[in-house]
Amino acid sequence: MNELPQQLANGLILGAMYGLIAIGYTMVYGIVQLINFAHGEIFMIGGFGALTVSLWLPDGFSLLAAIPLMIIGGVICSVAVGTAAERFAYRPLRGAPRLAPLITAIGLSILLQQAIWKWYPEAKKDRTFPQFSGDPVHIFGADVQRGDFFLILAAPLCMLALAYYVNKTRTGRGMQATAQDPDTAKLMGINTDRIIVMAFAIGAAFAAIAAVGYGLHNGQVGFKMGFIMGLKAFTAAVLGGIGNIYGAMLGGIVLGVAEALATGYMADVPGMEQFGGGAWKDVWAFALLILVLLLRPQGLLGERVADRA
Amino acid sequence: MRNRSALILTTVLTTGALTLTACGSRDKDKGSDDNGGGKTTVTIGFDAPLTGDLSALGIGMRNSAELAVKTANKENTVDGVEFKLEPLDDQAQPSVGGQNAQKFISNNDVIGVVGPLNSSVSQSMQKPFNDANLTQISPANTGTELTQGDGWKTGDKKRQFKTFFRTATTDQVQGQFAAQYLFQKAKIKKVYLIDDQKTYGAGLAASFKDTFTDLGGKIVGSDHVNPEDRDFKSVTSKVKGTGAEAVYYGGEYPAAAPLSQQLKESGAKIPLMGGDGMKSDEFPKLNKKAEGDFGTSVGAPVEELPSAKKFIAEYNKNYKENMETYGGGTYDATWAIIEAVKLAVDENDGKLPSDAREKVLASMSKVKFDGVTGSVSFDKYGDTTNTMMTAYEVKNNKWGSKFSEAYKPR
C-alpha cells in the first residue's frame, strides 16, 4: 500500500477534471432537463482552442504566462460552440418530447467530432499539447506533475466562483428560480432564455478549463478525447446527483479516486486477480455508480433539490 | 402521431439503406473494360485506417501501395494490364473492415487486396475473402493465429485461410525476438508487462512473456489497459513499486506514447519497449520523454537496405507524409500481387484469365522476388519466409536501429 498517497493524488487530479466537465451536464440538466451529450465535444473543442492559442504564441514564450491566454482561447471557442448549439440545435426543440433533443445532442456530438477531425490542421491524429518541464514536486508522499497543479488550483477556484455566482448574484438566483419552475420564473420577469444560454455558457467555460488541465496532464489532445471524458463526467454528474453543482464535483472526485484505487489495488484482493488493473477500472467505476443508485437513487447529494441550478 | 413518426423513420432508414447499397455497387457494371490502348484494367483493393489515430501508419501504407501500382504501370511490368488501386478506410474497426471486404468482393475488377493494418480487422475479412477466392496480403498483421490457427501455441499449426498471406512476421517471432534482445543485449532481468487486450497487443505480450521467463528473466507484474485511454498514471504508479527495470507494452503508439511519458513522470526512470505498432515516427513526437525506449520491427531497417534506396527516393519525391513502419512491407505486398498477376497472365498466353481471382491465388505460392524489405516469398501457411527482425532505440527523439538479425523462431 506504499503508493497509496500517489494513487489518491492520481485519482484527485482525474476527479477534478471529471468534476469540472460534469458541471456542464448538471447545470443544463437542472434547468432544461436535457442531457447534453455533445458536452464532451465542447470540452474537446476547448482543448483545441487552447492549443491554437499556444501555437500562435512565439517560441520561447513562458508557458506559465501562456496559460491564462490559452484558457481565454479555449473558453471563447467552447462557449461559442456551446451557446450556438443551444440556439440552433436545442432551442427549436424546446417543447418537443424529451427524446428529440437527446438524439439531436448525439448527432451534434458526432458532427463536432468530425468537424475538428476534418478541418483542424493535423487533427486526424493526437496533437501534442505544451507541457511544463522539470521534475515532479513531492508533497504528502506523492509525486505531482507541475502541470497538474493547474487542475488542483483551478477546480476549487471555479467551484467557489460558481457558488458565489449562483447564490449571490441576480442572474444566479434567477437561475435557481428557473430551475425550480421555469413558467413561474418567467411570470416574475426572469428572461429564461437568457438564463438557459448562461447555463450552457458556464458549463462550456468550465469544460474548456478542464480541457486545458487535460492537455497539461496528458501532453496531448485529440478529436476523440471528448467521448470517453464526456461519458465519465456524465457518470460523475449522476453519481453526485444530477442537477446539483456540488454533487457534480463530488461525484467527479469519487469517480476519479475509485478508478485509481481499482487500478492500483483490486488485483491485490484475494480471488480478484483477474479483475484488477487498468482494463477493469471502468467496470469498477460503473459498479460503484450502480451501487450508489441502488442505495440512493437521487445520487450522493441529490436531495438538495432546491439548490439545483 | 406515433404512426406518422414510425412512417418517417422507416422512410429515412429505407432511403439510407438504398443509398448505401448504391455506393457499394457503383463500379459493378463497368466490368473489365478496355481503356483505349487495348489494356485490361485490374484493380488492387487496399484497406487500412486512413482516419483516426492510427492513420499515420495507414496513410504511409496507402501511399506505398499506390507507388507500387504506379511503378508497375510506368514500367509496364505486366504486358497489357493496367493496375488501379482502390483504397478504403477501415477506421481500425473490424466491423468497417468487414463491410469493405464485401465491397471488394462485389467489385469483379478486384483481383487482390492489400491490407489491413490491424490483426483484429483482418479477422473480419479473412473468411469472406476465402469464400470469394480473393487473395489478401497484409503487410502489417502480425497475429500468429491469423495464418497458423489457435493451435500454434501447442505446436498444432494449421493453415486457416488459403487466401491470406502476409509480408509481416508473426507476433510470436517478434515477441521472442524482443524478449531475447531485452534479456541478452540490454541486460534487463525484471520486466513489468502491459497489454491493450487487442489481438495484436495481447499476442505480442504473451509471446514475450514465455520467452523472457524461459531465458531466466522475471515478470514482476502485469496489467491490461484500454487502448482508448490516455491517462495511465495509476498503472505507472504501480509499476514504480515493483522494482521493474523495463516495461514491455503490447499495443500501438497512440496509447504507448502517453504511457511511456507518464511512466517516466511517475519517477520510475525505466524504458518502455514495444513492437512494430509502437515503433512509429509519431511515437517520439507525441512523447517528450521517449529517450531510451525500445521498439522492434519486422524486416531490416528500410533506410539501410540497398534494395530500398530507389523506393525511398521515389516515395519522398511523390508524398509528403512519412512512409512509417509499414511502407516497405506494403510496397512488397502490393508488388507480390502484381507478380502473381504477371504469372497468371504469362500462363494464359499474355491475356488476363477469365477466372482471374483463382489464377492469381494459385500463383501466389510461386511468387518470389527481391523486394524492398528483402527476398519476398510465402511458406505453406502464407507467412513470409523473411524473418529479419530489427531492434530500435529512441535516440535524440528519433528511432535509431540497434541490431538486426534473421531470427530463427524457438
DSSP notation for B14-43: HHHHHHHHHHHTTTGGG-S-B-SSSPEEEE
Q: What is the mean pLDDT of chain A?
A: 89
Domain membership flag for residue B108: yes
A17, closest residue in chain B (CA to CA): B231
Q: Which domains does chain A have, with CATH numbers?
A: 4-307 (1.10.3470)
Q: Mark yes or no for CB contact A125/B234 under 8 Å.
A: no
Residue B98 pLDDT > 90, yes or no?
yes
Q: Please report the ipTM that was assigned to this predicted complex.
A: 0.78
- What is the residue type of B350? G
pLDDT above 90 covers a percentage of chain B that reads 47
Q: Are residues B345 and B288 in the same domain?
A: no
In the prediction, which pLDDT does B20 show?
A: 47
Q: In chain A, which residue's Cα lies nearest the Cα of B195?
A: A279
Q: What is the pLDDT of residue B27?
A: 42
Helix axes A148-168 and A4-32, enclosed angle (nearest 10): 30
* Per-residue pLDDT at B21: 44
> What backbone torsions phi and psi does residue A95 show, to the nearest 5 degrees?
-90, 0
Q: What is the pLDDT of residue B306?
A: 78
Provide Rg for chain B, Cα atoms: 22
Q: Do A279 and B197 touch (CB under 8 A)?
A: yes
Residue B206 to residue B199: CA distance in whole angstroms: 11
Give residue A177's pLDDT: 92
| Average pLDDT, integer, range B275-281 | 88
Q: What is the mean pLDDT of residues A252-260?
A: 93
B261 Cβ under 8 Å from any chain A Cβ = yes
Task: Pick from A12, A145, A218 the residue to mutate for testing the B interface (most B CBs within 10 Å).
Answer: A218
Q: Which residues of B touch A260 (CB under 8 A)?
A: 233-234
Q: How far apart are CA B89 and CA B324, in angstroms?
A: 17
Length of chain B: 410
If residue B371 lies in a helix (H) or strand (E), which one and from where to where? Answer: strand B369-371
Per-residue pLDDT tens digits for B159-191: 889 999 999 888 888 899 999 999 999 999 999
pLDDT of residue B26: 41
Say yes or no: B257 contacts chain A, CB-CB below 8 A. yes
Choose among B229, B237, B286: nearest Cβ to A128: B286
A279 bridge partner residues: none
- What is the tally of structural domains in chain B? 2
Assess A5–B contact: CB distance below 8 Å, yes or no: no
| CA-atom Rg of chain A in angstroms | 19
Contacts of A6 in chain B (CB under 8 A): 237, 240, 266
Across the interface, whether the CB atoms of B51 and A228 are under 8 A apart is answered: no
Is-contact B262 B225, C-beta < 8 A? no
pLDDT band at B307 (very low <50, low <70, confident <90, very high): confident
* More confident site: B23 or A2: A2
Banded model confidence at residue B308, pLDDT cuts 50, 70, 90: confident
Task: Name the residue among A221, A263, A177, A202 with its Cα closest to residue A22.
Answer: A202
Q: Which of B97, B135, B401, B374 is nearest to B276 (CA)?
A: B401
pLDDT band at residue B134 using 50, 70 and 90 as cut-offs: very high
**pLDDT band for position B3 (50/70/90)?**
low
Nearest CA in chain B to A126: B53
Whole-angstrom Cα distance, residue B277 to residue B325? 8
Tell whether A137 lies on the interface with B, counting CB pairs under 8 A: no
The band of A2, judged by pLDDT with boundaries at 50, 70 and 90, is low
Which pLDDT band, with edges at 50, 70 and 90, does A211 fall under?
very high
Report which residue type is found at A54: S
- Chain B residues in contact with A276 (beta carbon < 8 A): 223
**B13 found inside a domain:** no
Q: Which B-chain residues 41-70 have CB contacts (< 8 A) with chain A?
A: 51-53, 55-56
Q: Bridge-partner residues for B40, per DSSP?
A: B34, B81
Contact B286, B54 (CB under 8 A): no
Domain presence at residue B21: no
pTM: 0.78
- Residues 205..234 of B with a Cβ closer than 8 Å to A: which? 222-226, 228-234
Q: Mark whether B287 and B315 lie in a shared domain.
A: no
Q: Locate cell 497472365: which residue?
A: B345
Digit-coded pLDDT (tens) for A118-152: 888 888 778 889 888 877 888 888 888 888 999 99
Q: Are residues B364 and B324 in the same domain?
A: yes
Query: How high is the pLDDT of residue A263?
Result: 86
Q: What is the mean pLDDT of residues B320-337?
A: 90
* Residues B393 and B275 reside in one and the same domain: yes
Q: Which residues of B fall within a CB distance of 8 Å from A13?
A: 233
Identify the CA nearest to B204 among candidates B147, B142, B257, B159: B142
Query: B221 in helix, strand or coil?
Result: strand
> Is residue B14 domain-resident?
no
Predicted confidence at residue B59, as pLDDT, reads 93
* CATH number for position B228: 3.40.50.2300
User: If you measure CA to CA, which chain A residue comes closest to B228?
Assistant: A228
Residue B387 has pLDDT above 90, yes or no: no
> Are A282 and B51 inside 8 Å of each other by CB?
no
Is the pLDDT at B105 greater than 90, yes or no? yes
B240–A3 CB contact, under 8 Å = yes
B314 and B366 part of one domain: yes
Within a domain: B350: yes
Closest CA to A224 of B274, B95, B226, B259: B226
Assess contact for B333 and B78: CB atoms under 8 A.
no
| Mutate which: B196, B223, B238, B242, vs A, most A CBs within 10 A | B238
Q: What is the pLDDT of residue B10?
A: 53
Chain A residues closer than 8 Å to B241 by CB? 2-3
Which residues in chain B (116-135) have CB-CB distances under 8 A to chain A? none
Whether residues B266 and B396 fall in one domain: yes
User: pLDDT value at position A282?
Assistant: 85
- Distance of alpha carbon B127 from alpha carbon B163, whole angstroms: 9
- B58: pLDDT strictly greater than 50: yes
B187 and B95 in a single domain? The answer is no
Residue B181 DSSP code: I
Smallest CA-to-CA distance from A152 within A210, A220, A218, A208 is with A210
Task: Identify the residue among B234, B239, B266, B283 best suited for mutation to test binding to A, counting A beta carbons within 10 A and taking the highest.
Answer: B234
**Residue B242 structural domain:** 171-298+389-406
φ/ψ of residue B94, rounded to 5:
-55, -40
Q: Report the pLDDT value the prediction gives residue B5, as an integer from 0 to 100.
A: 59
- Whether residue B139 is found in the same domain as residue B201: no
Residue B19 has pLDDT above 70, yes or no: no
Yes or no, beta carbons of B53 and A222 under 8 Å apart: yes
pLDDT in tens, A29-40: 989 888 899 999
Cβ pair B230:A279 closer than 8 A: no
Among A8-12, A124-128, B313-317, the least confident range: A124-128
Q: Is residue B32 part of a domain?
A: no
Beta carbons of B197 and A279 less than 8 angstroms apart: yes
The two beta strands, B272-274 and B294-298, are parallel
Using DSSP bridges, classify how beta strands B272-274 and B190-195 pair: parallel, antiparallel or unpaired: unpaired
Per-residue pLDDT, averaged over B323-341, amounts to 91
Proportion of chain A above pLDDT 70, given as a percent: 97
Residues in A 92-111 with any Cβ partner in B closer than 8 A: none
pLDDT at residue A283, as a whole number:
87
DSSP codes, B295-349: EEEESS-GGG-GGGHHHHHHHHHH-SS--TTTHHHHHHHHHHHHHHHHHHHHHTT
| pLDDT at A301 (0 to 100) | 86
Say if residue B260 is in the same domain as residue B401: yes
- Contact residues on chain B for A11, CB-CB shorter than 8 A: 234
Cβ atoms of residues A214 and A221 within 8 Å: yes
Q: Are residues B181 and B281 in the same domain?
A: yes
Mutate to test the interface with B, among A21, A263, A274 (most CBs of B within 10 A): A263
B44 and B162 part of one domain = yes
| Position B78 in a domain | yes
Contact (Cβ atoms closer than 8 angstroms) between residue A268 and residue B215: no
Mean pLDDT of A266-289: 79
pLDDT in tens, A59-114: 878 888 999 999 999 999 999 999 999 999 999 998 888 889 999 999 999 999 99
pLDDT at A55: 92
Q: What is the mean pLDDT of chain B?
A: 86
Q: Are residues B275 and B371 in the same domain?
A: no
Whether B368 shows a pLDDT value over 60: the answer reads yes
Residue B54 confidence (pLDDT) = 84
Identify which of A225, A228, A264 has the shortest CB distance to residue B234. Answer: A264
B34 pLDDT exceeds 80? no
What pLDDT digit, counting tens, does each position of B240-263 carry? 888 899 999 999 999 999 999 999
Please report whether residue B242 resides in a domain.
yes
Mean pLDDT of A152-158: 94
- pLDDT recorded at residue B88: 95
Quote the cell numbers at residue B53: 489515430
pLDDT at B102: 94
Q: Mean pLDDT throughout A228-235?
A: 92
